Chain A
C-alpha cells in the first residue's frame, strides 16, 4: 500500500480551510502550517489568471529528508509510505529541513505563542503533544488513520478537492483520478517521486 493524496486544482477555491483543519487537528504553534496554500498570479490585465495551490508534505517515495537524517528520526513507513519524524530521536539538526525541496518541514527556534498573554487553555492542552527543539511535519494524520478516518484536511475540504487513498490500488479513487484526469506531481524532475498528485485546473 502506498498512501497518497490527489489535490484537484479545479475544485480548490483557495479557501485555506485545509490550513486551518490541519492546525485545528494538530494544535500547532504559530508559523507551523503542515498544510498551507500558495497563491500564484500570471498574465496581463484583463487576460490574467490566479491559482491557489494547496501544499503539504509530498510523502515522497524517494524522500531526501529521510536520507539526510543522521539519527534515523525521519523515517518512511514501509507498510504505507508515510514519511514522519520520530520526535524522540530528533536532535533538531535541521538537515532535513534544508533537504526538503517542498518546504514541508518546520522547526521552532523558540516556542512562540499566538497571544502575548501566553498559552490559552486550548493551547495548553494541545501544545503538550509538540516537543520543543524537534522538526515537525505532516504525517497524513496517522492517529486518524488508525481510527479509520482520513486526514483532517481532506475530510474537511468543502470543495472535496482533496482525495486520499492508496496509489498502488488501481481501482482506488486516487488512482482513477490520476489516470483519467491527468494527475501530475510537483517537480518530478527532482526524482523524489511525491505521493501527492495534482489535477490540472483547466480541464
Chain B
C-alpha cells in the first residue's frame, strides 16, 4: 500500500489483492483505490486462479459495491401480511435492536428444540457459507440446513466426482486432450468451474487441434465454438452415453483393459443377485485368478492373471465380472435405439463413439516431469444440461463410465478430479489431503470440504437411517447439497416432522426465485420468523423476511482462504494458489460481514466454545494454531490463525493482506495421481443398490407413498425424465441455459451486465426454433406465454432461432425479478423457475437432482 501526505490532503493511491465473488469460482483479483473510492477491479496476474484475466461478471463487480439499491441498514417488516410480491413496509432499525430480537428468538428456539432453526445459504459466497454450515449451525444444534441454489448445482456430478475422482467436481485435462465431449456443459467455453483459467486452456487446446463436440439442445456459447454441435432432446443424454458405451465395449472393442482390470473394479465378480461375490473368511470382493482357475480375494498377494471379462463358477454358482455385467447392461442400447429417444442419428452416435475411443490413444504413454504416464487424450464432461433431470444418477454414471472404459480418468488428457491430492506447502506440509483405498479396494476420498488434518474422510456414504430431516440428510445423506427442504416441509403425505421451522436464517440466497417456483418456498416458510442476510431486499426478503440484515459484498469483507475447498483451483499442472479475500473499501453504511455477525451471535447464545472447536475442524487447525475453546475471537484473529496454521508463523493475516496469494508448483503425482495411488474406481455401484433397498424399507415402514427407488441402479440405464410424460397439447420442453455474463439471477441488478444482455440477441428472450414458431404463427419479437404442464406460466418475447432443438424452448439463466428492492433488475429477462415444481415426483432420489426442464405449450398473446 502507498499513502502519501500532501500539504493539505491525504492522497491515497493503492492496489489491493483479493478474490472475486461474483460467482463461485473465486478468481484472483486486485482493486485500485484512490482516495477511498474503488475505481477499478481487474485480474491479479500473480494469482494462478484466473492468471490475471476475469470474466465480464468479475470486471463488473464494482457496480455491485456501489449499487444505490443495496440494503444499508437493518430493516424490520411493518406489514404483518406476508405475500409474494407484497410490500413489507420496511422500517430501518439499529443493529442492536435487530440482534437483540434475533438473540431472543434463537435462545427460545434453542431451549425448546434447536432443530427449529433452519438455514438456507448460497454457494456463491462459499467461504461464509462453509463457516455457517461448519461452525455456527452444528454448535447451535440444528441439522436443518440447505443450499437454495442446490437446484442448479452439481448434485449427481458431485457424487461421481467423489467415487471416481476422490473430489467434489471434475474438469478435463485439456492441456493433453485432443477430443472433448461436452454433455450439457460449457467448460472453458461458457460457465463452469475455474472458468477464467479453463477459458485460456481450452482456447490454447483448440488452437493446438483439440476437437470439441457439444451435445446440447441449445446452441449456446460452447456449441458455438464446438467443431460439432449435436442437438439432443433434453433429458436423453444418458441414452446417448449408454449407446456409446455399447459401441466402445461390444462393437469397436475400444477400451482400456489394463486400466479396467488394475485401476477399477472391472474384474470383481458379481453374484446373480447383483452383489460383489465375497470371500467367506475375509469378506473381500473376489476376482477370478485365471492361472489358478479359482476365485480369490482381489488383494491376495500371489494372484495370477486376473480375468477382466467372463462368467465363472463360484461355489457352484455363475458369477459375472463387473466388466461383463456392464457390457451386457448396455447391449440393448444400439445406436438405433438411442437415436429414437435422443433424436441424434445413429450415424452420428457411431461417429462420435468411434472418434472418442480412437482419440483416447489407448496404450500410449506420455512423459511429464520425468514420469511416464498413460496418455488418454479424450474426455467426456457433463453438467446441468445432462443431469438436471430426474434420471440424473443414471445419466451421470453413463457419461462418467465413458471416461472410465477408455482409462481417461485422472491421467493426462482425461477427466481429472479437481485436485484431490495435495502434499501441502513445501515448508509446512499443509494443507494435505490424499485419497486411498477402502477395505474393498475402492477409492476413498481424502478430506473434501473440511480440512481434517489427517486428510481423509472415511465412513462414506452414510447409510439411510430414517426420514425425519426435511433436507433428507438421514435418508439420502450423500449429495453434498440439496434444496429439497421446502418440498419436504410442504409434503404432508410423505413426511411428518416432529418439529417445525421456527426461525429461518437465509444467507445470500434468493430462495423464492432460485429453488423452484416461488410458491414452494413461500408455503414452507410463511409462518416462520425469517431473517434475510443479503445485499438487496430481494423477492424472498420482501415476501418472507421479518428482519433483513445488510450484508457486505465480496469487495467489503474478509474471508480467510476463500478457495480452501480445492475445487477452486484449476486442474492440471501449474501452481497451487491460496488467496485472501479482503475489504477493498471498509464496509459502506452499516453493512456487516455475515461471519462476524455469526461470531457475535455465538457469543450472545453462549456457543462460542463449540464454534471454536468446529472452526479448528473446518480449517484443520492443530496446536499451536488451533483456537482455544473458551476465547471469544474476532474474525481477523480467526483468519490469522487459519493462515498461520496452513502456511507458518511468518505468514499470517498481515502477510496475506500484503501479498494476496501464496503459490507453489503442483507435482505430477498430485495432478495425475491415478497411477500412483492403488485404489480402484467403482464402475459398479453396490452402495447405490444397497442404499435403494434401505430407502425402500424406510419408506415402507413409514408409509411414504411417493418414494420411488427404481432409480437406485448400480449400472447405468436410461429412462425418460418427468418432463417427457406426454400430455395433449403440451408439445414442447422448456429448458434453461447459462450465459457467461450472468450468475443465477443475482447479476440482473448489475447495470453493465444488463447492458450486455440488452445488446445480445438471445438472453432476454425465449428462444424458439424458427420452424416451430412459424407452425404456431409466432413471429420474432412476439409476446408469448409459456404454460407448464405442472402449472406455472411465464411470459416473454419470442426470439426465432435456428440454434435450438425444434421441440425445445430455451431461456437464459433466471431473470424477471419483481422485487421493489431490485429496481434495476425488475422485469429484465425471463423467470424460468416459475415452470418448476419441487416435489418427490420431479426429483432423482439418488442425487436429489430435480427436473430442471418442463413440458410446456406456448402461445402468442396480445401486447401487454
Query: Are A and B co-members of a single complex?
Result: yes
| A-to-B contact residues, CB < 8 Å | 8, 10-11, 13-17, 19-21, 23-25, 27, 30-31, 33, 36-37, 39, 41, 43-46, 48-52, 114-118, 120-126, 152, 155-161
- 30 A–B contact pairs at CB < 8 A? A10-B206, A13-B190, A13-B199, A15-B199, A15-B221, A15-B741, A16-B760, A17-B56, A17-B59, A19-B756, A20-B60, A20-B752, A24-B60, A24-B62, A30-B755, A37-B759, A41-B219, A41-B802, A45-B231, A45-B803, A48-B219, A114-B63, A117-B68, A120-B63, A120-B67, A122-B66, A158-B53, A159-B199, A160-B200, A160-B204
Residues of B within 8 A of A125 (CB): 34, 37, 39
Q: How many residues of B contact A (CB 8 A)?
A: 63
Q: Which of B107-142 contact A (CB under 8 A)?
A: none
> Which chain A residue lies CB-closest to B199?
A158
Residue B92 at the chain A interface, CB threshold 8 Å: no
Could you say which residues of chain B place their CB within 8 Å of the CB of A44?
802
User: Whole-angstrom distance between the alpha carbons of A50 and B190 in the complex?
Assistant: 14
Rounded to whole angstroms, the CA-CA distance of A116 and B769 in the bound complex is 37
What residues of B have a CB within 8 angstroms of the CB of A155 in the complex?
Answer: 52-53
Please determine whether A115 and B752 come into contact, CB atoms closer than 8 angstroms: no
Per the bound structure, the CA–CA distance linking A195 and B713 in Å amounts to 60
Does any Cβ of A come within 8 Å of B835's Cβ?
no
Q: Which of A15, A156, A157, A161 has the most CB of B within 10 A?
A: A15
A23 and B221 form a contact (CB under 8 A): no
- Asked whether A13 and B224 contact (CB < 8 A) given A44-B802, A125-B34, the answer is yes
Q: How far is the CB of A40 from chain B (nearest CB, A)?
A: 9
Stretch at the interface among B40-48, B239-247, B357-365: B40-48
> Is there an interface contact between B53 and A50, defined as CB atoms closer than 8 Å?
no
Pick the contact of B224: A8, A50, A157 (CB < 8 A).
A50
Please give, as numbers and ranges, the residues of chain B lying within 8 Å of A46 by CB-CB distance: 229, 231
B756-A20 in contact (CB<8A): yes
B391 in the interface, Cβ–Cβ < 8 Å? no
Shortest beta-carbon distance from B397 to chain A in Å? 28
- What separation, in Å, do the CA atoms of A137 and B1 have in the docked complex? 33
Cβ–Cβ contact B34 & A160, under 8 A? no
Query: How close is A156's CB to chain B, nearest CB, in angstroms?
Result: 5
Instruction: Give, as a whole number of angstroms, the nearest-CB distance from B58 to chain A.
Output: 8
Contact of B200 among A39, A41, A117, A158 (CB under 8 A): A158
Minimal Cβ-Cβ distance residue in B for A181: B207
Contact A156 B42 (CB under 8 A): yes
Task: Knowing A41-B803, A115-B751, A122-B38 are in contact, say whether A13-B207 is a contact too (CB < 8 A).
Answer: no
Q: For residues 33 through 92 of chain B, which have their beta carbon under 8 Å from a beta carbon of chain A?
A: 34, 37-43, 50, 52-56, 59-60, 62-63, 65-69
A39→B802 contact, CB < 8 A: no
Interface status of B824 (Cβ within 8 A of chain A): yes
Q: In this assembly, does B195 line the interface, its C-beta being within 8 Å of a C-beta of chain A?
A: yes
Report how many A-B pairs have Cβ atoms within 8 Å.
158
Chain B, 160-182, contact with A by CB distance < 8 Å: what is the 0/1 string?
Answer: 00000000000000000000000
Residues of B within 8 A of A17 (CB): 53-56, 59
Given contacts A11-B206, A14-B221, A114-B751, 15 further A-B contacts (CB under 8 A): A11-B207, A13-B221, A13-B225, A16-B760, A24-B59, A25-B40, A27-B39, A33-B755, A39-B760, A41-B802, A46-B231, A48-B803, A122-B38, A125-B34, A155-B52
**Shortest Cβ distance from B390 into chain A, in angstroms?**
27
Q: How far is the CA of A121 from the CA of B70 in the complex (A)?
A: 13
**Are A43 and B802 touching (Cβ within 8 A)?**
yes
Is B480 part of the contact surface with A, judged by Cβ < 8 Å? no
A156 touches B741 (CB 8 A): no
* CA A43 to CA B190, docked complex, whole Å: 22
- CB of A41 within 8 A of CB of B741, answer no
In the complex, what's the smallest C-beta–C-beta distance from A18 to chain B, in angstroms?
9
Residue among A27, A122, A161 with most chain B CB within 10 A: A122
Name the one of B37, B52, B196 contacting A122, with C-beta atoms under 8 angstroms: B37
Q: B55 contacts A15, CB within 8 Å?
A: yes
Instruction: Decide yes or no whether B506 CB sits under 8 A from chain A.
Output: no
Residues of chain B within 8 A (CB-CB) of A115 are 67-69, 751, 824
Given the known A-B contacts A15-B741, A45-B771, are A158 and B39 also in contact in the complex, defined by CB atoms under 8 Å? no
Is B189 in the interface zone, CB < 8 Å from A? yes
Please measure, in the bound complex, the distance between the C-alpha atom of A52 and the C-alpha atom of B38, giving whole angstroms.
31
Which residue on A lies nearest to B68, using beta carbons? A117
Distance in Å: Cβ of A144 to nearest Cβ of chain B: 11
Known contacts A10-B206, A115-B751; A158/B231 CB under 8 A: no
Name, among A30, A118, A125, the residue most crowded by chain B CB atoms within 10 Å (CB to CB): A125
Complex formed: what's the CA distance from A16 to B753 in Å? Answer: 9
B189 touches A13 (CB 8 A): yes
CB nearest neighbor in B for A25: B40
Report how far A160 CA is from B189 CA in the complex, Å: 13
Chain B 763-786 residues near chain A, CB threshold 8 A: 769-771
Q: How far is the CB of B804 from chain A (nearest CB, A)?
A: 8
Closest to A15 in B: B740
Query: Within 8 Å of chain A (Cβ to Cβ): is B203?
Result: yes
Contact B199 A45 (CB under 8 A): no
**How far does the alpha carbon of A54 sit from the alpha carbon of B325 in the complex, in Å?**
51
Report chain A residues within 8 Å CB of B34. Answer: 125
Which residues of chain B come closer than 8 Å to A23, judged between CB atoms?
A: 59-60, 752
Q: Is the CB of A158 within 8 A of B196?
A: yes
Given known A-B contacts A43-B802, A158-B200, A24 and B740 have beta carbons under 8 A apart: no
CA distance A8 to B761 in the complex (A): 22
Q: Within 8 Å CB of B741, what residues of A?
A: 15-16, 20
**How far, in angstroms, from A58 to B189 measured CA to CA in the complex?**
26
Once A121-B37, A156-B54, A158-B199 are accepted as A-B contacts, the answer to whether A45 and B66 lie under 8 Å apart by CB is no
Which residues of chain A have C-beta atoms less than 8 A from B41's C-beta?
24
Would you call B550 an interface residue if the criterion is a C-beta within 8 Å of the partner chain's C-beta atoms? no
Shortest A140–chain B CB gap in Å is: 17
Interface residue B823 (Cβ < 8 Å from any Cβ of A): yes
Flag B774-814 by CB within 8 Å of A: 1 or 0 each. 00000000000000000000000000011111100000000
> Measured between alpha carbons, how far is A53 from B44 in the docked complex, in Å?
26
Q: What residue in chain A is nearest B803 (Cβ atoms)?
A: A48
CB neighbours of A36 from chain B (8 A) = 759
The CA-CA distance from A57 to B411 in the complex, in Å, is: 45
Measured between beta carbons, the chain B residues less than 8 angstroms from A25 are 40
Partner of B59, one of A10, A13, A20, A121: A20
Inter-chain CA distance A178–B206, complex, in Å, is 18
A126: chain B residues within 8 A (beta carbon): 39
A195 to B54, CA, bound (A): 26
CB distance from B371 to the nearest CB of A (A): 28
